[in-house]
Chain A
């Protein structure tokens, strides 16, 4: 009845895919506000991923988004191996891989000279490549499709489009939300509220929380173009390119014949003028003489590197860009947001089920702030190299580029982006013992588990969504609440498992967390050792 009122809710962006049209919910007719265990604010990649992780664990979750689907524009394009591995646990890694473009080679140019070439040289024995390129709307659509499938299988996930949160009141035991819809406002209660509402986070604003960091005084013009040009599937980066279309330029391939071009155009620019098609074409024509292309999408962006002081505020938790923002160099934005979800999902589910104390949520704050600091440090260094902020910094940058052409030593100093790898939670409270003499450093407690081929399978596929005890050529007792996987050298056809998990040791027992990070490891372990490490990893000690 009131649907005909048609309250105007203006879109902030145009949709690429309309995936969750507004539908009136029974909650809007309830006499008292309905209480939900978890409400996620924001239906972007991080919010939908959060819903998927919790829903697949059986935790009822409601996503509120002020639009009805996925926004246009490719924005994030590089999705990392770790993101694909996490998505594979949710059942959509292969779908992403199938659609994405796999690349390994990167070339770096200065002016008209190639400075050097790198190969991400994917290590053998991983199900997923180091990176795929895929426009963000397709990434989001794939996640929403997986949600629909999970819902059909009974996962308690709900997405409400055109539901805009206008006010929140946070208490010690929950949050009250005022929500606006085309049918008018209503009120909801949540035990937990997760803010996945992006860099401009309205939630952060409503709660008056800080978001401090460094502004970079430079702007970047991105154009996604469709062209028939016969460029290889490589990442090409120019410092001070001969075609003078920007202080730096990036060319990167996406699916369906689309290419991402990114020009560094300086700080004091007239955005309206620069975004005129003729002006974008002038830059592109200089770069791609004689090539026919069509501009599919364009935008100008600036960025900051910053994070919230704390990601957890009682029953309100922030994840993804709402909690931390990095420069785009290194693909550390969306990828780190997915890792936030991976870290938070199992912890929140354990606390909601009463299996772990509330303090476990504080470890999300510790671990993901540690990761955000690493991402901010690495992307800031890349930005300082790409966009030197003083004359001397520019002189050194160009000296490195000059030397890198002839001398190997200078190449590791060339920084056009250090590509996203997952963080190791060194020295943080959930880590247990490292009692594996001779064990590889890459699998020390706190590390994300590297994949390894097993006979007919890969290791990460064998790890479930809970705690796992991985025994390799070693015995270990059964422990309640932990799934045990026993492998021997006969399960290790390539030797990769041994390289990555045994090193110089003859056998090992690993306790692995639900997010596939190592909790503790031993040469041999008693039930008491394992129980102590499990208690620690669940925040019980």
Chain B
């Protein structure tokens, strides 16, 4: 199954607000650590190695 890049999150504005709120009051280092934990949790949920590999490549693209 390829990486799903079509809109898939109900109430996107509500999700984005929750995401930003999760970082409220954290230092930059703490935010980076939160993001790392979040990525690992979501990666485990996805599980499929080919999907994860594709996502890594897409995320890397801008820095490439």
Binding site for B on A (CB under 8 A): 378, 381, 384-385, 390-393, 396, 400, 402-403, 406-409, 411-413, 415, 418
Contact = CB atoms under 8 A, between A and B. Distances in A.
A277 B46 CA distance: 56
B8 A409 contact: yes
A16 B9 CA distance: 47
A384 B13 contact: no
Nearest to A408: B6
Given A407-B5, A412-B7, A384 B23 contact: no
Nearest to B20: A393
A418 B8 CA distance: 19
- Sorted nearest first, the 7 A-B pairs with minimum C-beta distance are A392-B31, A412-B12, A407-B5, A392-B23, A409-B7, A413-B12, A402-B62
A402 to B, nearest CB: 5
Nearest to B30: A392
Given A378-B13, A396-B19, A391 B7 contact: no
Interface in B1-18: 4-9, 12-13, 15-17
A384 B17 contact: yes
Interface of B: 4-9, 12-13, 15-17, 19-20, 23, 26, 28, 31, 35, 58, 61-62
Interface centre among B7, B15, B19 (most CB of A within 10 A): B7
A305 to B, nearest CB: 14
Contacts of A408: 5-7
Contact of A393 (B5, B12, B15, B23): B23
Nearest to B62: A402
29 contacts: A381-B13, A384-B20, A391-B28, A392-B20, A392-B23, A392-B26, A392-B28, A392-B35, A393-B20, A393-B23, A396-B16, A402-B62, A403-B58, A406-B5, A406-B61, A407-B58, A409-B4, A409-B5, A409-B8, A409-B9, A411-B7, A412-B12, A412-B13, A413-B12, A413-B13, A413-B16, A415-B13, A415-B16, A418-B13
Given A392-B35, A409-B5, 14 more contacts: A378-B13, A381-B13, A384-B17, A385-B16, A390-B23, A390-B31, A391-B28, A392-B26, A408-B5, A409-B4, A409-B7, A409-B9, A412-B9, A415-B13
Nearest to A400: B16
Contacts of B7: 408-409, 411-412
Nearest to B19: A396
Nearest to A382: B13
Contacts of A400: 16
A406 B57 CA distance: 13
Question: At the interface, is chain A mostly helix, strand, loop or mixed?
Answer: helix
Contacts of A384: 17, 20
Nearest to B61: A406
Nearest to A392: B31
A392 B12 CA distance: 18
Interface centre among A385, A390, A391 (most CB of B within 10 A): A390
A422 to B, nearest CB: 18
Contact of B20 (A396, A403, A407, A418): A396
A111 to B, nearest CB: 12
B24 to A, nearest CB: 8
Nearest to A384: B20
A113 to B, nearest CB: 11
Given A392-B26, A392-B31, A415-B13, A409 B20 contact: no
Contacts of A411: 7
B5 to A, nearest CB: 4
A391 B26 CA distance: 10
A424 to B, nearest CB: 15
Contacts of B26: 392
Contacts of A412: 7, 9, 12-13
Nearest to B11: A412
A381 B6 CA distance: 22
B16 to A, nearest CB: 5
B14 to A, nearest CB: 8
Nearest to A412: B12
B2 to A, nearest CB: 12
B64 to A, nearest CB: 12
A110 to B, nearest CB: 12
Contacts of A390: 23, 31
A412 B4 CA distance: 15
A476 to B, nearest CB: 37
Interface centre among B6, B15, B20, B35 (most CB of A within 10 A): B20
Contacts of B23: 390, 392-393
B29 to A, nearest CB: 11
A262 B15 CA distance: 28
B55 to A, nearest CB: 11
Nearest to A405: B62
Nearest to B31: A392
